Structure 1
Amino acid sequence: MEKWKINLISVWFGCFFTGLAISQILPFLPLYVAQLGVTSHEALSLWSGLTFSITFLVSAIVSPMWGSLADRKGRKLMLLRASAGMAVAILLQAFASNVWQLFLLRGLMGLTSGYIPNAMALVASQVPRDRSGWALSTLSTAQISGVIAGPLLGGFMADHLGLRTVFLVTAGLLMVSFTVTLLLIHEGARPAQTKSERLSGKAVFASLPYPKLIISLFVTTMVIQLCNGSVGPILALFIKNMAPDSNNIAFMSGLIAAVPGISALISAPRLGRLGDRIGTSRILVATLAAAAVLFFAMSFVTSPVQLAVLRFLLGFADGAMLPAVQTLLVRNVSEQVTGRIFGYNQSFMYLGNVVGPLMGAGVSAMAGYRWVFIATALVVLVNLWHLGRTLKQQKAASKTI
């Protein structure tokens, strides 16, 4: 079997365990904050938001640095650093005795993050260009699978073994990622770079044939994550508003939150392969347009079943969007700066994770739950218009060369 195929299979399992590890903690973080002694509703909301956001904020700041280091020292080293570093940070969270310790350790977790973007960059640098869409889409199913299974496993452990046990098991899963990476992933020797050969951030963008397109793709990544996050803070409340007499709101909310992942698993490799044949940019534009229409439709639902159906349909688009962005990045940058570009892209992804929930909470407070879906759809439409213009300019410029 070719080396890149072996690496793809190995990295898939590493990304699966990483996605599983991270997602099984997040739904229960507010409960852990309460267990650490935060009792009032206002303080609990504040500390839950801070401990959630600090990880993504720190990750957004340091991602370009890790990307630069990956280009110089190798991506396997960055995968080992991220899996081991996050395992230690999460292990220590199990022994936090107050909320300040948890907050600082969540910040440390953000500092050590970066397994999945480095895995994407590793695969992108090795896979044949004409199969990059399929390979990156297939790899994305690993994280999606982990994100679906994580809350179920975490919820079972939290109910039967206690919240601290979730952190201990999560650290163990990340060490499984470390072991898979250490033993199974092989990266060829990288040419040494002298200090004078290392590109500055300005030089990285100067080396790109279409820098405007790359920046537009970064913003698209942020918008995709914003879409995923904007509904999160209000989903359970919106469902309760539609079905006030239901006695299983928590289960229903979890199910409706998870259904896009199921359809994304189905669509990601298929649309990735289709993009390799007909053009990845067409897939990206089509899925963004479909997402905008579905978010508008969600603002008119009158029952949880209708919302579940629309979110299931949204998952088909969701599974293709981020892999399509990453494929276009691969095809428009040189291998010398792939790690840096993926690092910048990851920063925008983390910013979307921060901005999305803040936008959703703010819009729902000012205008009501339904307006969150409308606002999200409008953001997607503005981004779609800008991306479409940029892609046309890039196509026109490539014809004149």
Structure 2
Amino acid sequence: MESWKVNLISVWFGCFFTGLAISQILPFLPLYVSQLGVTSHEALSMWSGLTFSVTFLVSAIVSPMWGSLADRKGRKLMLLRASLGMAIAILLQAFATNVWQLFILRAIMGLTSGYIPNAMALVASQVPRERSGWALSTLSTAQISGVIGGPLLGGFLADHVGLRAVFFITAILLTVSFLVTLFLIKEGARPVVSKADRLSGKAVFASLTYPGLVISLFFTTLVIQLCNGSIGPILALFIKSMEPQSNNIAFLAGMIAAVPGISALISAPRLGKLGDRIGAHRILLATLFCAVVMFFAMSFVTTPFQLGALRFLLGFADGAMLPAVQTLLLKYSSDQVTGRIFGYNQSFMYLGNVVGPLIGASVSAMAGFRWVFVATAIVVLINLIQLAIMLRRRQRIAVN
């Protein structure tokens, strides 16, 4: 088997364990904060939000640095650093005795992040360009699978073995990810780049043929994550408003939250393959348009079933969006700066994880639940228009 295929299979499992490990802690994080002595409703809400967000904020700040280091020292080293670093940070969270310790450890966890973007960059640098869309889409299914399975496994383990034990199990999963990376992933020889030859951030963008388009794609990544996270804070409450007599709101919310991931798993490799044939930009514009239609439609639902059905349809588009962005970033950047570009893109992804829930909570507080879907649709529509303009401009420049 070709080495890039072995690497793809290996990092698939690494990304799956990483996605599983990160997401299985999130459902019971407020419960753990409560267990650490935070009792009032206001303080519990604040600390739950802070401990959740700080990981993404720190990750957003350090991602370009790790990307730069990956370009110089190799991506396998970054994969080993991220998996082992997160394993240690999560293991230590099991021993936290107050919320400040948990907050600091969650920040350190953000500092050690970067497994998935470096896995993407490793595969992108090795796979034949004509198969990059399929390869990156296939790799994205690993994270999607982990994020779907994580909350289910985390909730089950928390109920049966206790909250602190989940941190131990998560650390073991990340250690498995470290071992898979160490023994199975092969990275070819990299050109040695001296400190004097390192490109500054400005020089990275100066080296790009279409820097405006690349920046536009960064904002598209932010918007994709924003629309994934905007309804998170209001989902259970919105379902309760439609089914006030229901006794299984948490189960319904969990199912409706997870259902886009199932359709994304089906669509991601297929649309990635189609993108290799007809162009990733066409796939990206089409899926963003579908997202606009679906979010507008969600604002009119009257039952949880209707919401779940529309989110299932949204998942087909969702599975292709980020891989299409990454395929285009690969197309419009050189091998010398791929790690930096993927690092910047990951920063925008983490910012989307922070901004999305903030927008959702703010809009629902000011205007009501249904307006969250409308606001999300408008944000995606604005992004779709500006991206289409940038792609048209690139086409015009290429023709001239």
TM-score normalized by structure 1? 0.99
Could you tell me which runs of 5 or more consecutive residues in structure 1 were left unpaired when the two chains were aligned.
Answer: none
Deviations 1:318-342 (A, max 9, x none): 0000000000000110000000000
Aligned to 1:370: 370
CA distance in 2: counterparts of 1:152 and 1:361, whole angstroms = 24
Aligned to 2:249: 249
1:67 aligns with 2:30: no
Aligned to 1:338: 338
CA distance in 2: counterparts of 1:230 and 1:36, whole angstroms = 28
Deviations 1:108-145 (A, max 9, x none): 00000000000000000000000000000000000000
Deviations 1:339-362 (A, max 9, x none): 000000000000000000000000
CA distance in 2: counterparts of 1:335 and 1:48, whole angstroms = 40
Aligned to 1:305: 305
Aligned to 1:167: 167
Deviations 1:56-100 (A, max 9, x none): 000000000000000000000000000000000000000000000
Pairing 1:42-121 to 2, within 5 Å after superposition: 42-121=42-121
Deviation at 1:194, TM superposition (A): 1.6
CA distance in 2: counterparts of 1:322 and 1:297, whole angstroms = 22
Aligned to 1:32: 32
1:381 aligns with 2:381: yes
TM-score normalized by structure 2? 1.00
1:350 aligns with 2:350: yes
1:267 aligns with 2:284: no
- Percent of pairs with identical residues: 81
CA distance in 1: counterparts of 2:101 and 2:212, whole angstroms = 42
Deviation at 1:191, TM superposition (A): 1.1
CA distance in 2: counterparts of 1:36 and 1:196, whole angstroms = 48
**Count of residue pairs brought into register by the alignment:** 400
Aligned to 1:41: 41
CA distance in 1: counterparts of 2:139 and 2:158, whole angstroms = 29
Amino acid paired to 2:244: P
CA distance in 2: counterparts of 1:17 and 1:255, whole angstroms = 21
Deviations 1:170-203 (A, max 9, x none): 0000000000000000001111112221100000
Aligned to 1:214: 214
CA distance in 1: counterparts of 2:264 and 2:179, whole angstroms = 28
Aligned to 2:223: 223
Aligned to 1:138: 138
Aligned to 1:14: 14
Structure 1 residue runs of 4 or more that deviate by more than 6 Å after TM superposition: none
CA distance in 2: counterparts of 1:270 and 1:379, whole angstroms = 27
Alignment RMSD, CA only? 0.4
CA distance in 1: counterparts of 2:45 and 2:310, whole angstroms = 29
1:294 aligns with 2:294: yes
